[in-house]
């Protein structure tokens, strides 16, 4: 599980507890246990449960309700309380006991994937689980949800889980939980993220007297157009105000049962661009009477890759990929135009600005040299994301206290995948 980590303030207890997770938390082939009764987890020095999460206070929510109950117990202090020791064995046992119900959550969400800002069923499902747990929550920006597990201490930590799916058909799927929505699937693991966050809610709701407050942010539209910024603009970081926010993401590049972290640069900026080469159509046997955009497009693609290797510091992560080329309809007809679509990724803002400018200059220059014209449309996406090194170390230390040393990995290279989580910083 790769984590994103941002600080909200500069003061944070360096050994406050966090909870680790699995890269692929749903193992296959195990018996599906029934959900156990809610066990109260002992927290040394904690008071008896005060009933703030009692089931009899929970309200049953309709699947598409858009409710906004007031959040309770805002924690705005810039100081965390003294570190609290906790029983890692009890936590692991409680987490293991939830495996069956978490698998059910993940599969239920996987069957009904929804695109950004249209996650109505997903949000309703999350609300119903939180209500059953007695966890106060409210809707924001349509399908976003903020849930608060209030503790007795002054510290406050946020955890974000994205909830949307992708406009991608699921070619293969397990019988019984394959996507039931044509052309939409959870191809990026957000169904697992939701299940993990719901498991965290259940785990912490069973703790006697939490030493701090935990806020869960169920965020819509990470895959686009972006749900983190609207949530922040709606004030989700104001009450309660977290001193740190953690993000998580499943990974296919790591073995099951590990936590992987990055210090510093973590994700790339995500820019898209469309280049259209305008030539003049004609017969393939008479190219001298036409302006063929196909070889012009080929030269533009090659020249842009030359920019990447000759104008960017070779140790600076940067990549430009063309994912789409469209032009022409017959083997013997010169097309009047060719359309290219590409993406630009880097972790350096100066390099980003340079490449955006140079892509346009090169495309127009090459097109002009061959009597064609090029039009370029640039779409600025998410900015690069950076993890706070001190918070990364805190999470690594805490994860090692719950897991073993070899199950906590430190990654030296950033991913150039785009991510809007860092708007929570």
Residues 106, 109: Cα–Cα separation, whole Å: 5
Helix locations, 279-385, DSSP H: 293-310, 349-369
Please name the residue that has the structure tokens 């309700």: 65
Residues 73, 394: Cα–Cα separation, whole Å: 25
Q: Which of 99, 119, 191, 222 is catalytic?
A: 222
Q: Using CB atoms within 10 A of its CB, is residue 96 exposed (0-12), middle (13-18) or buried (19+)?
A: exposed
Residues 179, 113: Cα–Cα separation, whole Å: 7
Strand 269-278 versus strand 337-346 pairing type:
antiparallel
Q: Which of 164, 170, 348, 383 is catalytic?
A: 164
How does 372-393 read in b/e, with b if 16+ C-beta sit within 10 Å? bbbebeeeebbbbbbbbeebbe
222 is known as an active-site residue? yes
Residues 25, 96: Cα–Cα separation, whole Å: 10
Residues 217, 162: Cα–Cα separation, whole Å: 8
Tokens describing residue 136: 């106060």
Which of 339, 44, 1, 418 is CA-nearest to residue 196? Answer: 1
Residues 149, 201: Cα–Cα separation, whole Å: 8
Tokens describing residue 73: 């117990």
How does 328-362 read in b/e, with b if 16+ C-beta sit within 10 Å? beeeeebbbbbbbbbbbbbbbeebbebbbebbbeb
Catalytic residues: 164, 222
């Amino acid at each position: 599980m790769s984590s994103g980590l941002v600080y909200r303030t500069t003061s944070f207890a360096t050994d406050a507890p966090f909870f680790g997770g699995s890269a692929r938390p749903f193992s296959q082939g195990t018996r599906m246990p029934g959900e156990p009764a809610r066990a109260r987890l002992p927290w040394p020095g904690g008071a008896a449960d005060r009933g703030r999460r009692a089931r009899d206070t929970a309200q049953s929510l309709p699947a598409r309700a858009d409710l906004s109950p007031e959040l309770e117990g805002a924690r705005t202090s810039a100081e965390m309380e003294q570190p609290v020791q906790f029983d890692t064995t009890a936590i692991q046992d409680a987490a293991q006991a939830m495996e069956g119900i978490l698998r059910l959550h993940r599969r239920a969400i996987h069957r009904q994937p929804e695109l950004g800002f249209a996650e109505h069923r997903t949000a309703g499902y999350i609300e119903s689980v939180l209500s059953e747990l007695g966890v106060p929550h409210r809707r924001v920006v349509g399908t976003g949800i903020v849930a608060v597990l209030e503790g007795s201490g002054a510290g406050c930590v946020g955890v974000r889980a994205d909830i949307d799916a992708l406009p991608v058909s699921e070619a293969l799927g397990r019988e019984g939980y394959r996507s039931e929505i044509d052309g939409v699937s959870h191809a990026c693991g957000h169904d697992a993220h939701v299940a993990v966050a719901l498991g965290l809610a259940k785990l912490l709701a069973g703790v006697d007297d939490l030493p701090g407050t935990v806020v869960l942010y169920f965020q819509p539209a990470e895959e686009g157009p972006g749900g983190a910024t609207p949530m922040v603009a709606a004030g989700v970081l104001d009450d309660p105000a977290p001193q740190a926010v953690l993000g998580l993401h499943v990974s296919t590049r790591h073995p099951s049962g590990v936590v992987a972290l990055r210090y510093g640069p973590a994700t790339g900026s995500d820019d898209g661009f469309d280049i259209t080469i305008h030539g003049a159509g004609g017969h393939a046997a008479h190219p001298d009477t036409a302006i063929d955009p196909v070889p012009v497009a080929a030269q533009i693609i090659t020249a842009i890759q030359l920019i990447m290797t000759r104008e960017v510091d070779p140790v600076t992560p940067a990549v430009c990929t063309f994912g789409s080329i469209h032009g022409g309809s017959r083997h013997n007809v010169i097309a009047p135009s060719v359309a290219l679509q590409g993406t630009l990724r880097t972790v350096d803002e100066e390099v980003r600005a340079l490449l955006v400018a140079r892509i346009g200059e090169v495309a127009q220059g090459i097109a002009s040299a061959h009597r064609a014209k090029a039009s370029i449309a640039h779409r600025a996406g998410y900015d690069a994301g950076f993890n706070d090194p001190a918070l990364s170390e805190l999470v690594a230390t805490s994860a090692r206290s719950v897991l073993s040393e070899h199950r906590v990995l430190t990654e030296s290279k950033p991913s150039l995948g785009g991510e809007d989580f860092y708007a929570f910083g």
